[in-house]
Amino acid sequence: MGDELREGSDLDPTTHLWPDRRTGPWLLELRWRVLDGRPECIGLRLASGDVFPDLSSDAWVEGDGQPVTAALIRLLGIPSHIATDRAEMMPLPDGPVLPPGMRRSTADQFRKAAEVYRAALAEGRKPVLAVAEAFDASPSSAANLVARARAAGFLPPASPGVPQA
């Protein structure tokens, strides 16, 4: 992905197999568009077993699919997949970023918190707890640090209504 996100442009879909990354039996496809300067999930497709879509078209291959239930939707962790994929799509700054008026030590602390947060999110761990461990801080102090790092631009904005562990 390029360093710039063009407003209104469609991005490549992301796919996830659940519960096992190699075999499924569930395939989740997320579709993306750049809105307000950041990737936003604008749609999804979910298929089971042999009912996998041909991702290059709108065709579906019918088979012995399993029913989609409310419990399955909760277990899929869709908000987590959206947050992880969005974080991976966000361009990283070319060099050190020091917001105006911020001390270098504070920027370094926010940068480290953002790195720990992104790594934990990519590994499927709770990112705020990972920051708490890395900084030997309480979960509430870590949440405050993450919020301050986000406000300073070291992490992308949080999605309203999407839990960010």
For residue 30, pLDDT over 90 is answered with yes
**End of a domain among 50, 71, 89?**
89
- Say if residue 79 is in the same domain as residue 131: no
Residue ranges making up the domain that contains 22: 10-89
Q: How confident is the model at residue 22 (pLDDT cuts 50, 70, 90)?
A: low
Give dist(CA 76, CA 15) in Å, integer: 12
What three-state secondary structure class fits 93? coil
Do residues 80 and 101 share a domain?
no
Domain finish residue from 40, 60, 89: 89
Shared domain for 24 and 66, answered yes or no, is yes
Domain final residue pick, 70, 89, 108: 89
- Cite the beta strand spans of the chain per DSSP E: 10-20, 24-35, 38-48
- Say what the pLDDT of residue 64 is: 59
d(CA 77, CA 30): 12
In a domain, 4, yes or no: no
Overall number of domains in the chain: 2
Q: Tell me how far apart the alpha carbons of residues 131 and 138 are, in angstroms, rounded to a whole number.
A: 9
User: Is the Cα dihedral 70, 71, 77, 79 positive or negative?
Assistant: positive
Instruction: Flag whether 2 is in a domain.
Output: no
Confidence of residue 136 (pLDDT cuts 50, 70, 90): very high
Average pLDDT over residues 12-36: 81
pLDDT digits (tens, 9 = 90+) for 45-104: 888 765 555 555 555 555 556 778 888 888 888 888 888 888 788 776 555 556 677 788
136-162: average pLDDT: 83
